[in-house]
Chain A
């Protein structure tokens, strides 16, 4: 699971209103190089919840993202590279996503988060 996917996902447990972001507990992750696509990054930046991304990046030991970011930073190549790396090059293999409201844990196995709910959670 890439951190981009994490940035899209909210807790889907019944009764949860916000449920975002899910807290990432990463046990194992890998890095895979991806070609830098500046246009994509500039476009997607406005849709990314920055705090959630920076938090998730820290959970996998990547502390290179600033706590706050604004569009002006997109002109700096260094910033783009860090943003790109955090968003697309880190893959969480094992761990869990934890609902911020209920503490419900969604396990991540072999890179695949399991968001299936029990009947009483739907």
Chain B
């Protein structure tokens, strides 16, 4: 089935990914992306390299500053796919840069904000835990959306709707938005999700980050709360892949219970999602994909003071 030419091409691609070594100080993406191309090329010519092996090969080719990442990966028996690996590597890089350069400055300059994050950073411990909560002190969030892609969002906290308030995270998933709110000194954060596994991960994340967050397993549509006890609802509604119109139902419920504001993160193209998830995943493997996200802030009509 595969002729000599194909065998040669396979050999060539294999040679490339075995010999590739990341140069210290270069961008990790610029190293990983060509490697995934070599894997694809070898596979195109008949090679079978399972994803775990690909991940191992990449981990072994990284520059020395990724040693903590690799040892954490092995020691905690993590199991990333390629897309997640690249995301985690980039986040690790961003965070370790932060720890070296910025964390100290933050502690000195802004003694009153986001204690939790700094405490964690000052420890310099298991940095990967922070992977979806990058640089929160400055109001920037890196979110993991449904398909594992990372999206950065600037959250404006100028309205004062989080700090000292009761915040509910609707459809909290692994808890990113709720934990971010806790970092921004929300008095009480309640994460609600229908999926028990998501809630378990979210509560582990809270423990790892030394943050307080309450959780509840409930379908948002059947949630019955006394109105206006919660100040602010944050949410990242289902991205249209599960059920059409869920965004709107979440929003209606959020506006009913929140007294101050609703922050909702919507994918701009929710209404005409063109790729189903497996296709999107393959697509992500090949090249960078920017997902446009709108962060909407809603204020209920009968907005009460504070």
Task: List chain A positions with a Cβ less than 8 A from chain B.
Answer: 1-2, 4-5, 7-12, 19-20, 32, 34, 37, 39-40, 43-44, 47, 49, 88, 110-117, 122
Contact A116 B194, CB 8 Å, known A5-B216, A10-B224, A11-B224: yes
What residue of chain A has the Cβ atom nearest to residue B190's Cβ? A5
- Does B156 reach chain A (CB closer than 8 Å)? no
Contact of A4 among B188, B216, B224 (CB under 8 A): B188
How far is the CB of B135 from the nearest CB of chain A, in Å?
A: 24
Residues A114 and B230 in contact, CB atoms below 8 Å apart: no
Contact of A37 among B164, B200, B212, B306 (CB under 8 A): B164
Contact A37 B217, CB 8 Å, known A10-B224, A12-B224: no
Give 12 pairs: A residue, B residue, CB < 8 Å, sorted on A.
Answer: A2-B188, A4-B166, A4-B214, A5-B214, A8-B190, A8-B225, A8-B230, A34-B212, A47-B228, A88-B188, A112-B215, A113-B217
4 smallest CB-CB distances across A and B, nearest first, come from A115-B218, A12-B224, A10-B224, A114-B217
How far is the CB of B170 from the nearest CB of chain A, in Å?
A: 14
Q: Told that A12-B224, A112-B217 touch, could you supply 19 new A-B pairs with CB distance under 8 A?
A: A1-B215, A2-B188, A2-B214, A4-B188, A8-B190, A8-B226, A11-B224, A12-B218, A40-B164, A43-B306, A110-B203, A112-B215, A114-B218, A115-B218, A115-B222, A116-B217, A117-B219, A117-B222, A122-B222
A-B contact count (CB 8 A): 75
Residues A115 and B164 in contact, CB atoms below 8 Å apart: no
In angstroms, Cα B216 to Cα A111, docked, is: 9
Residues B217 and A111 in contact, CB atoms below 8 Å apart: no
Q: Could you say which residues of chain B place their CB within 8 Å of the CB of A39? A: 164
What residue of chain B has the Cβ atom nearest to residue A113's Cβ? B216
Q: Could you say which residues of chain B place their CB within 8 Å of the CB of A112? A: 196, 199, 203, 215-217
In angstroms, Cα B130 to Cα A107, docked, is: 31
- Does B229 reach chain A (CB closer than 8 Å)? yes
- Does B223 reach chain A (CB closer than 8 Å)? yes
Residue of A1, A5, A8, A10 with most chain B CB atoms under a 10 A cut-off: A8
The contact size tier of chain B is: 20 to 34
Residue of A7, A19, A40 with most chain B CB atoms under a 10 A cut-off: A40
Q: Could you say which residues of chain A place their CB within 8 Å of the CB of B203? A: 110-112
Residue of B190, B194, B216, B219 with most chain A CB atoms under a 10 A cut-off: B216
| Contact residues of A: prevailing secondary structure | loop
In angstroms, Cα B217 to Cα A9, docked, is: 12
Residues B194 and A20 in contact, CB atoms below 8 Å apart: no
In angstroms, Cα B227 to Cα A20, docked, is: 13
Residues A115 and B212 in contact, CB atoms below 8 Å apart: no
- Does B104 reach chain A (CB closer than 8 Å)? no
How far is the CB of A53 from the nearest CB of chain B, in Å?
A: 12
How far is the CB of B241 from the nearest CB of chain A, in Å?
A: 21
Contact A10 B215, CB 8 Å, known A44-B166, A112-B203, A116-B194: no
Contact A37 B187, CB 8 Å, known A4-B166, A11-B224, A112-B199: yes
Q: Could you say which residues of chain A place their CB within 8 Å of the CB of B166? A: 4, 44
Interface string of B181-198 (1 = CB under 8 A from A): 000000110100010100
Contact of B187 among A1, A10, A40 (CB under 8 A): A40
Q: Could you say which residues of chain B place their CB within 8 Å of the CB of A37? A: 164, 187
What residue of chain A has the Cβ atom nearest to residue B257's Cβ? A8
How far is the CB of A46 from the nearest CB of chain B, in Å?
A: 10
Residues B229 and A7 in contact, CB atoms below 8 Å apart: yes
Contact of B215 among A9, A47, A111, A117 (CB under 8 A): A111
In angstroms, Cα B196 to Cα A113, docked, is: 11
Contact A8 B229, CB 8 Å, known A2-B188, A111-B203, A114-B217: yes
Residue of B187, B200, B219, B225 with most chain A CB atoms under a 10 A cut-off: B187
Residue of B199, B214, B215 with most chain A CB atoms under a 10 A cut-off: B214
What residue of chain A has the Cβ atom nearest to residue B202's Cβ? A112
How far is the CB of B189 from the nearest CB of chain A, in Å?
A: 10
Q: Could you say which residues of chain A place their CB within 8 Å of the CB of B222? A: 12, 115, 117, 122
